[in-house]
Amino acid sequence: MIDMVSGNIFHCRKHSWPSEEYISKTTLQLMRLGVRLWSYVREEASQGRKAPIDPFTRESCKPSASQGVPLGGMGSGSISRGFRGEFRQLQIVPGLCEASPIMANQFSYYYALGCGWDLVASNDLSKAENPFSFQNLNLFKNKEIVRMRKSDGQGTSSWGWNLSGQHSTYHALFPRAWTIYDGEPDPELKVSCRQISPFIPNNYRDSSLPAAVICVHVGEHRKRKGKSQPSSHLGSKDMWGTMVQGGHFDRENINVGASIPSSPGDTLCAAVSASAWVEAHGKCTVAFSLAWSSPKVKFLKGSTYNRRYTKFYGTSERSAVNLVHDALMNYKQWEEEIEKWQNPILRDDSLPEWYKFTLFNELYFLVAGGTVWIDGHLPAADDKSNLDGYRHKLKDVDNLDAKIITAKVNVNQGVVVQHDRINGFSSKELDRINGFSSNGVIDENEDTYQGSLHSSESVDLEETRRTNSLHGPKDDDEDVGRFLYLEGVEYIMWCTYDVHFYASFALLALFPKIELSIQRDFAKAVLSEDGRKVKFLADGTSGIRKARGAVPHDLGTHDPWHEMNAYNIHDTSRWKDLNPKFVLQVYRDFAATGNMSFAVDVWPAVCAAIEYMEQFDKDGDGLIENDGFPDQTYDAWTVHGISAYCGCLWLAALEAAAAMAHQLGDKAFAERCRSKFLKAKPVFEEKLWNGSYFNYDSGSSSNSRSIQADQLAGQWYIASSGLPSLFDDSKIRSALQKIFDFNVMRVKGGRIGAVNGMYPNGKVDESCMQSREIWTGVTYGLAATMILTEMKDEAFTTAEGIFTAGWSEEGYGYWFQTPEGWTVDGHYRSLIYMRPLAIWAMQWALALPKAILQAPGINMMDKMYTSSNGKASTNDIGGVRKLVKKTKCFSNAVFHCSC
């Protein structure tokens, strides 16, 4: 079950037994990893929990080329619909996914021509000449239907599953989708079924609603008659028979008394019918609304939280009634706002057609990928034990320092701002945790200073904060709660940060306040430490769960925000990409939004993240070195010494930190980062640049000269943030052209994306599982880098490979379940994955925000900054832990996971 490959399986010795008689050390290590992973999965199962990574159980994620646009907004659970109309992929409970379709959930269309339904009872519907007909609006021709027909005939197998679908076409443009039944079942009849969900950029209210509207539009040349009635207390066969005979449900079903709760094991169903006359050559639209109410989310080892939508609809399960009503009243406005957002892109003739709808359809993951959006930072206020546990938890995590940071911001020698934080929380937040108002209502409004500071401005942010604390925020919409989304439905970890690095462009472009909220969560995490012991499965060693100064891999699984780093294959406190990625994302978000309050909040964590990485510069040349194990997002691809991926990220992080320090008035830290950059850059180029691209690493392994598709990840972020390039333009273009010629065009003619690793001789790097894979999100990120380097034609050719292989009819059928990656022969890994949201990095590159375009074009690396006393100084970050013990790990290990 675990896919692992070693570069050298057997040790061949002279005058010894044949190699087949030996089991190599690496093979034994792989076997031990398999045993440790299996034991861990079983241990979690014994506690009623699912392991974050479980390669042994994959039945919930079987591939199916029938996925479609999901229903609902973000963070309140989701229900997907396949392109044939079936309801499937239910994710109401966080981390649990019911992938199989529920056959009783269908839309059916019955129609009558001529005199109406009165004649149906006297006619045999099986006769071809009968002028009356009925039809299920579903295109099923699969094994589920075959199995149903073999049942006792009393359930859904008794329904009329007989639509051919030859003239039916499904259209998907997230968050809407529609199917047109053109001439089915009658050649003079045209029916469309359209779904609308409230996914609306910058709308932080409606986009959280667990509701959707489905409109049936009818246009025909004859008359049709019917009534609108709900129904209950009927079996599946009886319900179908009632509709066949009369075309509607009986009105007495409305007033049948109070509903009776179901018993364990029972299944209750409900059905609604609506009907109308359609005159000759007329049209008619009937709208249905679907809503579900799951007001609280409970994490298995953590607290219970109120979902975001309860801020507007309360915590009663019966709020679904109001959700349905409001959805029917507002869906036309939703559509107007969606069209206003999408039309400028859809009408841009310079963009390829495939790109336009793939750009929007990849957003399905923010609904169907597993998202939780809660109302505020605190647990549900109506559960006292929940709140008590939360307070206890804050005190228990490794006895954190009482006060670990004081951020100082000096704007152009103006007012010095003191901004105290305790354990990553502001004093205001701690007041809310430790004391609640008598009515139990928690005010979770975030105070925000919008706008950027110019060189002539000096703003007292502390006074702004005090004023907002007294009178409340100027805009209640600034309170956007907290947001979680899974790495993927197979890798159950919240907000996996090394992957969020690629996916975050979508949130920043469409819901920037959510993106800033996630970055604040990670900033708090950087300054915290969790001393609880964890066993790392790769080598069996133990260490602490979270080191102070290290950016966590994820926010956890069963107790997010409080038990982070659910990923336990490697010790991610020794990974080399997480801290630079944090610095780069923070600066990009600050540059794009101009939110100075955000910058003040996270700046101490930025300083801590930079200082933490200094321990990995073993020889004092300013560059961090990798430690001979897969210590980055390619967690099965071993790296030795200086690497193109992590080294480039580190250089970019130093430039971003220097720029941010300058804008916040911390000139000493700006100079410190600048000095490191100037020292490290020539070493990076000397060790890795070979005349046409940057080598994979500076080691002597067989793949050290591999062409890595992601070698310019740091340059990608620098360009996306409006900062000067890391390298000469000629080197950047040369490396990108090499990647395009080899990693893209030499693999299936560029029809499946960019392979991660390619040897200079034009052969795919087969040294490990991940080197030979095509990663969808990495390919999109590569295309964005090309756009930023004015290689637009190469960019769209590169990204089109992902569309062709994953979304087109000639591809592998991965639409609305885009995996992390696939091999050259199309075998996927990890369906419904976060990283493909990186396609929004392409759109970001095509239309950079005004704040970034208008940023001053000053190369921070060419300017000297010194403190007033002439000495370098740094912020007090409360004691960053430095890990001195080197992690032991087998080399070239490959296991079936990726984070």
| Per-10-residue mean pLDDT, the chain, length 899 | 32 38 57 85 89 77 77 94 86 81 76 47 28 38 37 60 77 95 77 94 97 87 39 57 67 62 72 77 88 92 92 90 96 98 97 97 95 85 54 43 38 38 41 35 33 33 34 52 94 97 98 97 97 93 96 96 95 97 98 95 97 96 95 95 98 97 95 96 98 97 96 98 96 98 97 98 94 97 98 98 94 93 92 96 95 70 46 47 44 33
Query: How far, in Å, CA of 302 to CA of 315, rounded?
Result: 19
Query: How far, in Å, CA of 658 to CA of 675, rounded?
Result: 10
pLDDT at 529: 96
Q: What domains can be seen in the chain, in order of their start residue?
A: 1-48 (no CATH), 108-254+268-359 (no CATH), 486-855 (1.50.10.10)
Beta bridge partners of 833: 488
pLDDT at 850: 84
Closest CA relative to residue 704, chosen from 5, 1, 7: 7
pLDDT at 883: 58
Query: How far, in Å, CA of 411 to CA of 597, rounded?
Result: 13
Q: How many CB atoms lie within 10 A of CB 201?
A: 16
Query: How far, in Å, CA of 802 to CA of 800, rounded?
Result: 5
**Model confidence, pTM:** 0.83
**Contact residues for 854 (Cβ-Cβ < 8 A; gap 6+):** none
pLDDT at 116: 45
Query: How far, in Å, CA of 718 to CA of 411, rounded?
Result: 24
Residue-wise over 66-86: b if at least 16 C-beta within 10 A, else e?
bbbbbbbbbbbbbbbbbbbbb
Check if the beta carbon of residue 373 is closer than 8 Å to that of residue 308.
yes
Beta bridge partners of 191: 181, 218
Alpha helices, H only, 479-617: 497-510, 512-526, 578-593, 596-613
Order of strands, sheet of 821-822, starting from the edge strand that comes earlier in the sequence: 774-775, 821-822, 828-829
**Contact residues for 336 (Cβ-Cβ < 8 A; gap 6+):** none
User: What does DSSP say about strands 416-422 and 640-641: parallel, antiparallel, or unpaired?
Assistant: unpaired
Q: What is the dihedral of CA 420, 590, 372, 551, to 10 degrees?
A: -70
Distance of CA 533 to the CA centre of its chain: 29
Task: Calculate the alpha carbon distances from 225 to 107, 112, 132 in Å.
Answer: 18, 7, 12
Q: Is the dihedral of CA 795, 801, 806, 809 positive or negative?
A: positive
pLDDT at 153: 55
User: What does residue 388 show for φ and ψ, rounded to 5 degrees?
Assistant: -60, -40
**Contact residues for 84 (Cβ-Cβ < 8 A; gap 6+):** 66, 138, 139, 140, 165, 170
DSSP-assigned letters across all residues of 220-273 = ESS------EEE-S--HHHHHHHHHHHSS--GGGS-S-S--PPPTT-----EEE
Query: How far, in Å, CA of 626 to CA of 605, rounded?
Result: 23
* Burial degree of 219 (CB within 10 A; 0-12, 13-18, 19+): middle
Q: Is the dihedral of CA 791, 792, 794, 799 positive or negative?
A: positive
* Burial degree of 364 (CB within 10 A; 0-12, 13-18, 19+): buried
pLDDT at 257: 63
Closest CA relative to residue 560, chosen from 388, 382, 364, 393: 393
pLDDT at 419: 41
Tokens of 351: 């963009």
